[in-house]
Amino acid sequence: MMAAVRADLSKRLVPDELWELVAPLLPSFAARPQGGGTAPRDERAVFTAVAYILTSGCAWRYLPESFGVSPATAHRRFSVWTEAGMWRRLHRAVLDELGARGELDWSSAIVDAASVRAKRGAR
């Protein structure tokens, strides 16, 4: 039963079309040369757990056990993926895919900017 719930949640949070864009962008798991460390996890389960955290606002420590991933593992992978620039590449891949399908509408867009005072004497 738990596996069915997990599979259903995974498909809703990370549909197959999204996973096809995500999977090639994830850094490979590299075992430590001296051995030990954490065993590889189901990357889709980890990505789904991270997607849940990012979209729900849930604190890492309250990640439901039904994801089959510990909060520490999910957070650690999120940090590794962030350092590797995976989120930026995923954003670009999604935009490219939507553009190729003709589903991108640039008729309205939001631009965010910050205005900062120049330091004294700076030009």
Task: Count structural domains, the chain.
Answer: 1
Backbone angles phi, psi at 108, to 5 degrees: -140, 140
pLDDT range class, residue 1, cuts 50, 70, 90: very low
Residues in the chain: 123
Domain range spanning residue 68? 2-27+40-100
108 belongs to a structural domain: no
Is 92 part of a structural domain of the chain? yes
Domain presence at residue 82: yes
Total-model pTM: 0.75
Q: Does any domain span residue 89? A: yes
Residue 118 domain-assigned?
Answer: no
Which long-range contacts (C-beta less than 8 Å, at least 24 apart) are formed by 18-24? 18/94, 19/44, 19/47, 21/90, 21/93, 21/94, 21/97, 22/47, 22/90
Q: Each residue of 28-57: pLDDT tens digit?
A: 876 667 765 556 678 999 999 999 999 999
CA distance linking residue 17 with residue 93, whole number of Å: 12
Structural domain includes residue 33: no
In-domain check, residue 18: yes
d(CA 93, CA 91): 5
Query: What is the rounded distance in angstroms from the CA atom of residue 67 to the CA atom of residue 7?
Result: 9
In a domain, 13, yes or no: yes
Closest CA to 79 of 57, 55, 36, 50: 50
- The structure tokens listed for 87 are 């989120």
User: Do residues 34 and 87 make contact, with C-beta atoms less than 8 angstroms apart?
Assistant: no
Say what percent of the chain tops pLDDT 70.
82
